[in-house]
C-alpha cells in the first residue's frame, strides 16, 4: 500500500514542520503500516492504542471526563474543523487543556485559516495543519497578531486587568492617567 502524504503545511510549536511523521487517514483501514497515523476517534477507541496511533475528533465530539481519560495518553489529539465557521473545536481544545489537563499536542485539522491561529493557540492548540492555499510565513506572523490579550486563555490564565494591577510602582492616580 502506498504511503499517504499531505501537501498541507504544518505548524507546531510556532515553527514550520518540514517532515511530519503523522499521516491523517480518513479511513483507518487504509492507514500505512510504516508511519504513525491519525485515525477517526471511533477506530482509535477500538484499536490497540500506542505511540503510532492518534485520535481524530470530529467537531461534534462531546468532551466527557471518560473520553478525556481515554485521550490522556494519546501522543496527540487532532480536532477537526469541517468549515471555518464551525467553532466547536475551540471548546474541545480548551476543555482538554484546562479541565482535563491534557499535555500532549492538540492539532487543528480541516478548514484551518490563518486568521484563526492566534485564537486557536489561546484555546490550547499548539499545532495547525493549514489548508494547502495558506501561506506559511503569514501563518507564523498571525500567531503573534496581538501583543496583549484581555481575556484569560490556556496560554495565560490571568486577565489583563490583574496583570496591570500587579505592576509595582504604580499608584491609583498613575493608573487613572494611563
Rounded distance between C-alpha atoms, residue 21 and residue 83, angstroms: 25
Tell whether 132 is covered by a domain. Answer: yes
Do residues 119 and 171 share a domain?
no
Q: How many domains would you assign to the chain? A: 2
135, three cell numbers: 501561506
| pLDDT of 115 strictly over 80 | yes
Q: What pLDDT, on the 0 to 100 scale, is given for residue 4?
A: 43
Do residues 135 and 170 share a domain?
no
pTM given for the model: 0.81
Do residues 100 and 165 share a domain?
no
On the 0-12 / 13-18 / 19+ scale of CB atoms within 10 A, 43 is middle
Tell whether 105 is covered by a domain. Answer: yes
Do residues 40 and 84 share a domain?
yes
Within its chain, how far is the Cα of 177 from the centroid?
Answer: 39
Share of the chain above pLDDT 90, in %: 51
Tell whether 2 is covered by a domain. Answer: no
Q: Which helix (H) or strand (E) holds 69?
A: helix 65-71
pLDDT digits (tens, 9 = 90+) for 7-36: 788 999 888 887 888 999 988 888 888 889
Do residues 92 and 152 share a domain?
no
On the 0-12 / 13-18 / 19+ scale of CB atoms within 10 A, 78 is buried
Q: Of 152, 81, 150, 151, which is closest to residue 117 (Cα–Cα)?
A: 81
- 42 phi, psi to nearest 5 deg: -60, -40
Do residues 81 and 160 share a domain?
no
Q: Which helix (H) or strand (E) holds 81?
A: strand 76-81
Domain hosting 152: range is 148-178
CB 57, CB 78: distance < 8 Å: yes
CB 89, CB 72: distance < 8 Å: no
Segment 32-58 mean pLDDT: 88
Do residues 158 and 139 share a domain?
no
Amino acid at each position: 500500500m502506498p504511503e499517504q502524504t499531505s501537501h498541507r503545511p504544518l505548524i507546531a510549536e510556532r515553527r514550520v514542520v518540514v517532515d511530519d511523521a503523522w499521516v491523517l487517514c480518513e479511513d483507518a483501514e487504509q492507514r500505512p503500516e510504516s508511519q504513525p497515523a491519525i485515525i477517526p476517534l471511533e477506530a482509535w477507541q477500538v484499536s490497540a492504542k500506542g505511540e503510532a496511533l492518534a485520535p481524530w475528533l470530529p467537531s461534534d465530539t462531546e468532551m466527557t471526563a471518560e473520553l478525556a481519560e481515554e485521550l490522556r495518553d494519546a501522543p496527540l489529539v487532532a480536532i477537526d474543523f469541517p468549515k471555518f465557521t464551525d467553532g466547536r473545536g475551540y471548546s474541545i481544545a480548551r476543555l482538554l487543556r484546562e479541565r482535563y489537563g491534557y499535555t500532549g499536542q492538540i492539532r487543528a485539522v480541516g478548514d484551518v485559516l490563518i486568521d484563526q491561529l492566534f485564537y486557536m493557540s489561546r484555546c490550547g492548540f499548539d499545532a495547525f495543519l493549514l489548508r494547502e492555499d495558506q501561506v506559511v510565513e503569514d501563518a507564523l506572523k498571525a500567531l503573534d497578531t496581538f501583543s496583549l490579550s484581555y481575556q484569560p486563555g490556556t496560554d495565560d490564565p490571568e486577565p489583563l486587568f490583574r496583570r496591570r494591577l500587579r505592576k509595582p510602582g504604580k499608584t491609583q492616580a498613575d493608573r487613572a492617567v494611563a
